[in-house]
Amino acid sequence: MSTSTTAPPARSWFDPSGWSLTAKLVAAVVGLFLVITVATSAFTVIALQNHLVNQIDQDVTQSLVRAGGPRGPGDRDRDGDGGAIPGGGGESLIVVQRAGQVTVNRLESGRTVGELTTAQLAALNEAGLGPTPRTIEIPGLGDYRVAAARQPAGGTVVAGLPMSGIDKIVDAIIGLVVGTTITGLALVALGGQWIVRRNLAPLQRVAHTATQVSHLELDSGAVALAQRVPAADTDPRTEVGQVGLALNNMLDNVEGALMARHDSETRVRQFVADASHELRTPLASIRGYAELSRREREPVPASVTHALNRVESESLRMQGLVEDLLLLARLDAGRPLESGSVDLSLLAMDAVSDAHAAAPSHTWELDLPDEPVEVPGDQARLHQVVANLLANARTHTPPGTRVVTSLHREGDWVRLRVTDDGPGVPAALQDTVFERFSRGDEARNRAGGSTGLGLSIVDAVAKSHGGRVCLDSRPGHTSFSVLLPAAA
């Protein structure tokens, strides 16, 4: 059975429509994990950052109070000029201004106490600070969370704490999240692939069974579809089991249909063989009586003589048709042919000589190698192959057509080719030219009768010898090739 498959169109690797089901499921699982992880991580980092900022804002507000800013209900009673301005041993800044003069300028970094530069003080003055802490960038110091408040005695207090601690914590958390996300993606991808493949293994077994069936020769002969989906993969409670069960039911139905078709073909072939065999005797009798009547010594009217001649001619033609049908029936039944070494070179010369005698108006040529070309097979049947090909060229081409018969060895094969420069086989007929009773009378000139069985016999004999036939035809060039296994 000849099958043709069309290659799928090329798709980009990034086009999901070309991915396998395993790849799609794994990608979906990995994508869902990535979305959830990124969303959860982003929410966690943002919430942590806001919590740390709220804490530092409380510390900045407390620093304002301790530095002499407005007291809250829980603050102790003290004025802004008494005692040391707290730094806590960390990083902080305190600036107190009164009447446009900076009375306190304190910048602590660990155990080091210094003062803000003029540029840094200018940046604080230009920031438009208020009691609500804000993040500003101070030249040389980086980002600080800073707030300002009015003192009861007059003046302004500015307090600030660096954001570097929060940034370090947030960066560490982000690094941890990225690392765990990458690790999680790898684990989810590997684990998801293993799980998906394990669960899709039954579907792959179903596909394997379908692939095996698709490679079987189902076009002729007795076909037994032994391939079935394993019982473990036909559980109707699962989706894959439903597919496997449906495939098994379909294969049962197809097997039954193929067996019915084979039985029908067998009966038809047997009928053709029996009918052909039974027709040989009455046809021979008709031909014999016609010949006997023509030998009668008594005068026979011309019309009767003509009728007897036509009876004899048509009985010969019908006898040839019956013989062809009987041969095809035997080949279809697989009856063994005679096997021996056949010299195709000698056989081709004899067939071309007969064709020249039958149609001298054609130009018959031979293209043979110097050495004899031998193949194993049935000499009578192979002679019929060459004779039928030459008869086809003679019948369907006009006088003066050049017909070349050639033989060439191609590795383990021998190619017998009959080429003519006639009008060619119509394109609509080329796909069915080797079928039985296929006729090309409407497109090619007829020089004689044709039963439509000659090329089908060529095809059947070639296949029975383990070979094949092919056609290459266009106007002005028609080539019938027969490939046969070469002799060892």
List domains and CATH numbers for the chain. 18-69+86-215 (no CATH), 216-335 (1.10.287), 340-485 (3.30.565.10)
Q: Are 300 and 431 in contact (CB under 8 A)?
A: no
Task: Return the structure tokens found at 384.
Answer: 């019929």
Per-residue confidence at 269, pLDDT binned at 50, 70, 90? low
Q: State residue 104's pLDDT score.
A: 84
Q: State residue 459's pLDDT score.
A: 87
Q: pLDDT: is 443 or 469 the higher one?
A: 469
Q: pLDDT: is 77 or 94 the higher one?
A: 94
Kindly give the pairing relationship between strand 402-410 and strand 363-367.
Answer: parallel
Q: Are 95 and 102 in contact (CB under 8 A)?
A: yes
Per-residue confidence at 125, pLDDT binned at 50, 70, 90? confident
Q: State residue 390's pLDDT score.
A: 92
Q: Which of 31-45, 130-144, 252-266 has the lowest mean pLDDT?
A: 252-266
Give the max Cα distance, the chain. Answer: 166
Where would I find the H helices in 362-468? 379-395, 427-430, 454-464
Q: Are 344 and 413 in contact (CB under 8 A)?
A: no
> Averaged over 114-136, what is the pLDDT?
87
Q: Are 23 and 128 in contact (CB under 8 A)?
A: no
Residue 28 has pLDDT above 80, yes or no: yes
| Element of type H or E holding 137 | strand 134-138
Q: Is 487 helix (H, G, I), strand (E, B) or coil?
A: coil
Kindly give the pairing relationship between strand 413-420 and strand 468-474.
Answer: unpaired
Q: State residue 296's pLDDT score.
A: 66
Q: State residue 416's pLDDT score.
A: 92
Q: pLDDT: is 4 or 356 the higher one?
A: 356
Say which residues have a Cβ less than 8 Å from residue 244's Cβ, sequence separation at least 6. 202, 205, 206, 229, 230, 233, 234
Alpha carbon distance 130, 152 (integer Å) = 15
Alpha carbon distance 387, 1 (integer Å) = 27
Q: Which of 3-7, 150-154, 181-185 has the lowest mean pLDDT?
A: 3-7
Q: Is 478 helix (H, G, I), strand (E, B) or coil?
A: strand
Residue 302 has pLDDT above 90, yes or no: no
Percent of the chain at pLDDT > 90 equals 19
Burial per residue of 224-249, b for 16 or more beta-carbon CB atoms within 10 angstroms, e otherwise: ebebbbeeebbeeeeebbebbbebbe
Q: Tell how many helices (H) and how many strands (E) occur in the chain.
A: 9, 13
Q: Which of 83-92, 102-111, 273-282, 446-455 has the lowest mean pLDDT?
A: 83-92
The DSSP secondary structure of 146-194, one letter per residue, reads: EEEEE-TTS-EEEEEEESHHHHHHHHHHHHHHHHHHHHHHHHHHHHHHH
Residue 126 has pLDDT above 70, yes or no: yes
Per-residue confidence at 333, pLDDT binned at 50, 70, 90? low
The DSSP secondary structure of 456-469, one letter per residue, reads: HHHHHHHHHTT-EE
Q: Are 343 and 414 in contact (CB under 8 A)?
A: no
> Averaged over 164-176, what is the pLDDT?
90
Give the residue among 387, 316, 397 at the shortest CA–CA distance from 355. 387
Residue 378 has pLDDT above 90, yes or no: no
Q: State residue 172's pLDDT score.
A: 92
> Averaged over 472-484, what is the pLDDT?
91
| Element of type H or E holding 108 | strand 101-109
Q: Is 356 helix (H, G, I), strand (E, B) or coil?
A: helix
Alpha carbon distance 342, 383 (integer Å) = 10
Per-residue confidence at 81, pLDDT binned at 50, 70, 90? very low
Residue 251 has pLDDT above 90, yes or no: no
